[in-house]
Structure 1
Amino acid sequence: MATSPHEIETLATERANNTTIFTTLAEPRRRFSLRYLRAADTPIKVGDLAAEIAAWESRRTAAGRPDGDVDRIEVALVHNHLPSMDDVGFIEYDSSRGTVALTDHDDRIQSHLRICGGNRP
């Protein structure tokens, strides 16, 4: 049975989408962010997310991290991680308000996160 050009194009697009999704999820801070946002269930401030990532990375409370660490993480979120996750459709990043929230694609996100490493960020 021959494969139609439309089927080939669909498979190529799906493969490219999966590559983009897994490339996006390769970064631990992004996986942590998605899990944190799911637990928060509401839009959160980027600075609060940065503080939680800093605490997770150091295994301390957010208050126990130097402000400089949190600031560097926030810069990385704003200029790298959040735009990438927004482009893929995992989050809604409002740069003017400085907030981030999950999109309605939670089932798709969770299935890809499971493939990327169970419950580990």
Structure 2
Amino acid sequence: MFHLLQSQRRRDAIRFLRDKDEPVEMRDIAEQVTAWENNTTVQALSSSERQHVYIPLYQSHLPKLDEEGVIEYDQSRGTVRKTPFAAQLERYLDVDEESTDEDDVRRWDTYYLSISCVGTFLFLGAALNVPLFALVPGAALIVLVLSAFWIVSV
């Protein structure tokens, strides 16, 4: 599954087919994928830009998706229809879009790094008998730090 999705063009082809229940023209897929790659509209594409994407889709990417059962690709007619397997792959296409929403992004690595730094600071303070830290038993520090990791993990 991930091998199929490693190519941006294959991901874009699947994304294009997401809301299409009927067969679509291969040319329409190629044009939209080209527009996405060039950050422009289909109408603004040049013929060389279209050809640059059309050929690899025609010869490689769409046949690969057909071979794996993601689409039904009639190369001679130039039509493509998604299969039910395509819906299983679609959920992996939204990962990048969701992660760009800065309000929802949680930097878990930052949380874990912060807990590690605070835990290290507490353990060093206790080990060096710093007056404030020496009052807290080592077992309590261990429980505190492990609890913090557990809470972040949950």
Q: TM-score, normalised by structure 1?
A: 0.72
AA aligned opposite 1:95: Q
SS of match in other structure, 1:105: helix
SS of match in other structure, 1:64: coil
1:42 to 9, 12, 22: 22
* More RCO (CA 8 Å, sep 6+): 1
AA aligned opposite 1:74: Y
**Structure 2 alignment gaps of length 5 or more:** 99-154
| Partner residue, 1:22 | 2
**Separation (CA, whole Å) in 1 of partners of 2:18 and 2:87:** 11
**Separation (CA, whole Å) in 2 of partners of 1:63 and 1:37:** 20
**Structure 1 alignment gaps of length 5 or more:** 1-20
AA aligned opposite 1:50: A
**Separation (CA, whole Å) in 2 of partners of 1:72 and 1:106:** 25
AA aligned opposite 1:93: Y
2:88 to 108, 111, 120: 108
Considering only aligned residues, what root-mean-square deviation do their CA atoms show, in Å?
Answer: 1.8
1:56-98 CA deviation, whole Å, 9 max, x = no partner?
1111110101111112211100111001111111111001110
CA contact 1:22–1:112 (8 Å) conserved in 2 = no
**Separation (CA, whole Å) in 1 of partners of 2:25 and 2:66:** 15
How far is 1:119 from its partner?
A: 4.1
| Partner residue, 1:91 | 71
- When residues 111 and 60 of structure 1 are mapped into structure 2, their CA distance, relative to the original with a 3 A threshold, is closer
Q: Percent identity?
A: 34
How far is 1:104 from its partner?
A: 2.0
Q: Return the index of the structure with the highest Cα Rg.
A: 2
SS of match in other structure, 1:40: coil
For the pair 1:31 / 2:11, whether they are aligned, the reply is yes
SS of match in other structure, 2:76: coil
SS of match in other structure, 2:14: helix
2:48 to 40, 44, 68: 68
